[in-house]
Structures are given as C-alpha cells and as structure tokens.
Amino acid sequence: MNEAHLIAGLGNPGAKYDHTRHNIGFRVLDELASVWGGTWSDEKKFKARMSRATVEGRALHLCQPQTFMNLSGEAVGAVSDYYKITPARVLVIVDDTEQPFGQIRLRAGGGNGGHNGLGSVQQHLATADYPRLRIGVGRPSSGRDMSAHVLGRFAAEEVGHLGLVLQRVRQQTECWLQQGVAKAMNEFNGKLDFPDETTEKEIT
C-alpha cells in the first residue's frame, strides 16, 4: 500500500491577496485540486484549507495554510504529524524572487533562502530535508519595493503565460509522486519557453 503524501502551497489568506505573486503556491494547489477532483474544506484543527485526492493509487493531502505566510509551518507540521507523513513525502510549493518568471526549481532539501514560509516549515518539521518547489516570480523593477512586488499581481504578459507555468508545475509534481524527486528535478527544472507572440503573428 502506498503511503500518503502532503502537498502544501504557501500564501496569505484573504481576498486581497488572491492572485498575487506571493500566493502562487495557493494558485498551484487550486489547479491540482481541480485537475485531480479534490474539494476544499476549512479544517481549523490544522489551521488550513484542506483537500484530498488519489493519484496513481497514492493518497494525497493538499494543504493551504491559513496562518499567513510567516507561520505556514504550523499547518504543515500539524498535518504531517496527524497523518504521520515523513518530511520526504512533504512537498512545499512557494514563490521565488531569485528566479525569473517562468522558471521552476525542485530540490530535495536545503536552506530556506530567506523565504519566511520555508523557514517556518523547517522549524515545525524539525528538518530542512523536505522537497520544495520554487516558482520564479522575478525581482521588482528598479526603485520598486520588494514587498510591493510580491504582494502585487502578475503583469498582463505574465498572466497570459501563467497557465503554462501551472501546467508545468503540475506535471513536475506528478512526476515527483510517481518517479521520485531526482527524476522530477532532471525532467522539469528550468525555464519554460513561452511562445513568441510576435513570431506567431508573422507566421500566420
């Protein structure tokens, strides 16, 4: 029998944070639940919105912490403890300002890179050895505050490509579930090649 896995997408609760760069983890989880047939419910004992699904015979717990980003580990730790899910079977999905938009990077463990959500997860799992998938959201333009950038919404041209990013992340997540972290890293880490709209117009 396959053991359960936990996939946590980090973000901030509340309508004013919907569709912001910092909430890309929530956006991914919504996509996964939609494709995998999961439904969401508020579960106060975990301080999270939770959804369940079964993929390739694997029981999955999808988690959107409702604690605000900096305390995300409270929810992730509570769910992993309750269902006895080891850190190696916990995947955390977050935004990453150190990578350009369209680049994704899965790692089996490591430091939090200054990301407060990952730092909280590390604290509550009592280890840095858990998989994390970082989704590039880029750095702010010159003179713009970092906080305003991550709490702002994607630019129009980015919104047009966001569906491809979500699809790629879902494919990488499914590969992680089925074939392990090393295979998923080798197959999917990197920057997406978005269609060149100018070239497409010239061709047509």
Catalytic residue selected from 5, 22, 115, 124: 22
Neighbours of 150 (CB within 10 A): 21
Q: In what order do the strands lie in the sheet with 90-96?
A: 41-43, 48-55, 58-65, 5-9, 90-96, 132-136, 103-107, 190-191
Radius of gyration in angstroms for the set of CA atoms belonging to the chain, rounded to a whole number: 17
Query: Of the candidates 175, 197, 144, which has an alpha carbon nearest to the alpha carbon of residue 56?
Result: 175
Please confirm, yes or no, whether 161 is among the known catalytic residues.
Answer: no
SS3 content of the chain, % helix, strand, coil (to 5): 45, 20, 30
**E-strand spans in the chain?**
5-9, 41-43, 48-55, 58-65, 90-96, 103-107, 132-136, 190-191
Catalytic positions, written as ranges: 22
